[in-house]
Amino acid sequence: MTVSIWGVGTSMFGRQPARLPAQLAWDAIQEALEDAAVDGVDAAYVGTVFGAPGVAQRALSGVGITGIPIITVENACASGTTAFHEAHAAIAAGRYERVLALGIEQMSTLFDGPITPETTDSEQASGLLLPALYALSASRYMADYGMTLSDLAQVAVKNSRHGSLNPRAQRRRAVTEEEILSSRPIAEPLTLFQCAGLSDAAAAAVLGHERRDDRDVAIRASALKSGLAWDQASKHVWGFDVVADTSAIAYAQAGLGPDDIDVVELHDAFTIGELVTAEALGLAAPGQGASLVRSGEASLGGRRPINPSGGLLSRGHPLGATGLAQIAEITWQLRGEAGPRQVQGARTGLVETMGGGASGIDGNGCVVTILGG
């Protein structure tokens, strides 16, 4: 049974401390319902990491959606796409006809800096926050493959250029390599402009059975895995294995391979994350992720653009909303509705979201979705 995306919507992205999480969600839900041309759904799956108890019910009741099953999920940065994955599975199993997947996060009132790990984890005791973990990955990658600081910065150059074309993005200015490398150090070798900013936003999608509507976007595959224990047994940096394993399942479900993908939205919370993830997805050989950026292949106008939205680096990273914002972007791209950042001729797109934070695990969870085709 084919499951399709009927409609998508998002709020604006950025620090919006004066807006309640539910208010952000109303923007996304109303746009998604109007886009889907429906006035209600049979169930809702809501992804959020730091949302208060009942945030999903408050958000939905505010747009008149009550009396249905509402399921809230938390899976770190992959919370939104986990909600999407479960919505897809519920429709495919015949449980519901129309389902809303929603992601919400209001972070600007909760954090002034990096998100701190769970206090019982060893990372917290050692000060190894996520920027430091990604910085260690970057240092290891540089040692293994000869990557340079310039290679890292070029990821942010590309994504800031894309983000300058996205009216909903938090950072809407193209920045130079010099600006990136001279911005405030966060965790060596990563600087401020190489890290996604704290953001507030919501994003939503309405899913349903296949309709006779040429604006609906088919879901070819949706795969979800949690990471294995991460120790000296893995030869890769943190997060590589869970992305590679999850994408292998998604490619098999879709009957496609990396060369069949036209456009990609992947989890670039830090510049090194885009390079490692592109390789884990099979878009480049190990150690060759930077070549995708240098060659222009990953840029708008290139063979297979990566993060035409500007990615997390430019759009912002409101954890629960991120995955569904990626889904919305690929939906717009496959419909030809992405405006100045449109990938010409895009027919098949891939979304990857990976969330981490649990001590000793190679990622709390990863979702890889393939759309269109």
Select which of 77, 88, 162, 366 is catalytic: 77
By CB neighbour count within 10 A (0-12 exposed, 13-18 middle, 19+ buried), where does 361 fall? middle
Structure tokens at 59: 């958000």
Q: Are 364 and 229 in contact (CB under 8 A)?
A: no
For the chain, domains (ranges, CATH) are 3-110+200-219 (3.40.47.10), 122-193+221-372 (3.40.47.10)
By CB neighbour count within 10 A (0-12 exposed, 13-18 middle, 19+ buried), where does 142 fall? middle
Q: Please spell the DSSP secondary structure of 157-223, one letter per residue.
A: HHHHHHHTT-TT-S------HHHHHHSPEEETTEEGGGBPPP-EEEEEEEEEE--S-TT-EEEEEEE
Q: Are 172 and 313 in contact (CB under 8 A)?
A: no
Phi, psi of 141 (to 5 degrees): -65, -40
Predicted local confidence at residue 39, as pLDDT? 94
d(CA 328, CA 342) in angstroms, rounded, equals 13
d(CA 300, CA 334) in angstroms, rounded, equals 14
Structure tokens at 73: 């999920």
Is 317 an annotated catalytic residue?
A: yes
Select which of 88, 236, 267, 317 is catalytic: 317
Is 209 an annotated catalytic residue?
A: no
* 77 DSSP 8-state letter: B
Q: What is the pLDDT of residues 125-142, one digit of tens each?
A: 777 778 888 999 999 999
Please, what is the end-to-end C-alpha distance for the chain in angstroms?
16
Q: Which amino acid is at 169?
A: A
SS3 at position 71:
strand
Predicted local confidence at residue 192, as pLDDT? 96
Predicted local confidence at residue 133, as pLDDT? 86
Provide CB contacts within 8 A for 174, sequence distance 6+: 157, 160, 161, 163, 164
d(CA 263, CA 217) in angstroms, rounded, equals 14
Predicted local confidence at residue 124, as pLDDT? 67
Q: Where are the alpha helices (DSSP H) in the chain?
A: 21-36, 55-61, 79-92, 122-126, 130-145, 149-163, 177-182, 240-254, 271-280, 289-294, 311-315, 319-335
Say if strands 365-372 and 98-106 run parallel, antiparallel, or are unpaired. unpaired
Residues of the chain with pLDDT under 50: none
Question: Phi-psi category of 231—alpha, beta or left, where left has phi over 0 and alpha has psi -120 to 50?
Answer: beta
